Structure 1
């Protein structure tokens, strides 16, 4: 296990170097309850799983091990009469200070979009329009189910004031899934338009793949876009200097 940087004294605003997944687990321990690894897994499924991370039980326990080693969480075995003991985790004072500092000061990582449907559509020239539409309709059904799940959990979370910001994130998730649905419905029409334009391809290679009319034209597009971005940066810099 890599060495974890310590948290400084209580007056410090520092926090240790940990992956965001560790902070996510620690954040779930900031609601005043002791939780088992299984509890955390179930909670993640209906909270951060909608917008950030759906961990397995083994991943949860791996993160808890890191947090305990860093002194950010602690655990004890709680036994009920006639039942097997359960290891319950709680956040420490040090952990509370660290996750608060992290949530306030750490740079926010940019979202990384990995959209399986769009990858299939991007190579739509290898498929048939009707088959692509089936994929899109299936995606819409999945997003509708996710939207309803997020709504149900958001409505349930409304009963507890301590979950106000958690509920806000669930409402955002519901809106996100609706946006996915709206975009996918538009894509159904876009497929027909793309198929019609693709039908005008004049040349194909011996494998039947389309050959661009101008070889390497994607490089021209890249250069053009990079040039526009550079000019935009220069223009914004000029405007800032004029204002300053």
Structure 2
């Protein structure tokens, strides 16, 4: 009997689907790279140790199979999704409730306590955040461009477009906040 999988496990299973049936699979390192290039824009990209922990769990539940390749004295372990893993992923996609996202926003948290900061420092923090948004947006735009208009990548492309719209909206919100904070005088001491 399989235990309930974490959302991270399902996210990793989903990353295997893009490999195709002829693929030799991915190493844990390659899976982590793919997570860093994709998940980081809309989900937490798991740490390397978490990737291997989840892979061990998925292998134990026969949702992923592992095979070893030897090259000289070096052993490489590759992972592939199994039919059971694919079935479990589809079940999760089609039947689980969609939770409302929990916003963990360090900039908003600091703004909440903005009365404890000098207004100039607060404005500087928000300006830096707008700059960081531009960098992340450029990274995501490169991902979206790389996906092209291939049918196989239709849904990842839609998520990338959603992310681009998110960065645009977030930039607009923070720019408006900066305008509201423009006239605040520095506090003494």
- TM-score, normalised via structure 2 length: 0.89
| Aligned ranges 1:43-122 → 2 under 5 Å | 43-80=34-71, 82=72, 84-122=74-112
Q: Does 1:146 align with 2:136?
A: yes
Cα distance between partner residues in 1 of 2:130 and 2:10: 32
Pairwise CA distance, 1:176: 1.0
> How much does 1:148 deviate?
0.4
Cα distance change on mapping 1:159 and 1:86 into 2, 3 Å: farther
The whole-number CA distance in structure 2 between the counterparts of 1:191 and 1:83 is 62
For 1:26, the equivalent position in structure 2 comes to: 13
Aligned partner of 2:154 among 161, 164, 168: 164
Matched residue, 2:4: 17
Q: Secondary structure at the match of 1:75?
A: strand
Structure 1: any 5+ residue segments left out of the alignment?
A: 7-15, 200-207, 209-244
Partner of 1:128: 118
Secondary structure, in 3 states, of the residue corresponding to 2:74? coil
Q: With a CA cutoff of 8 Å and minimum separation of 6, indicate the structure with the bigger relative contact order.
A: 2
Q: Give 3-state SS (helix, strand or coil) of 1:85's partner.
A: strand
CA distance in 2, matches of 1:83, 1:169: 42
**Residues 10-56 of structure 1, C-alpha deviation per residue, up to 9 Å, x if partnerless?**
xxxxxx51110110011111122311111111111111110011111
TM-score calculated relative to the size of structure 1: 0.70
Asked if 1:187 is matched to 2:174, the reply is: no
Select the structure of larger CA radius of gyration: 1
Counterpart of 1:37 (choices 5, 14, 28) is: 28
Q: Displacement, 1:192?
A: 3.8
Structure 1 residue ranges, 4+ long, deviating more than 6 angstroms after superposition: none
Unaligned stretches of 5+ residues in structure 2: none
Q: How many residues align?
A: 183
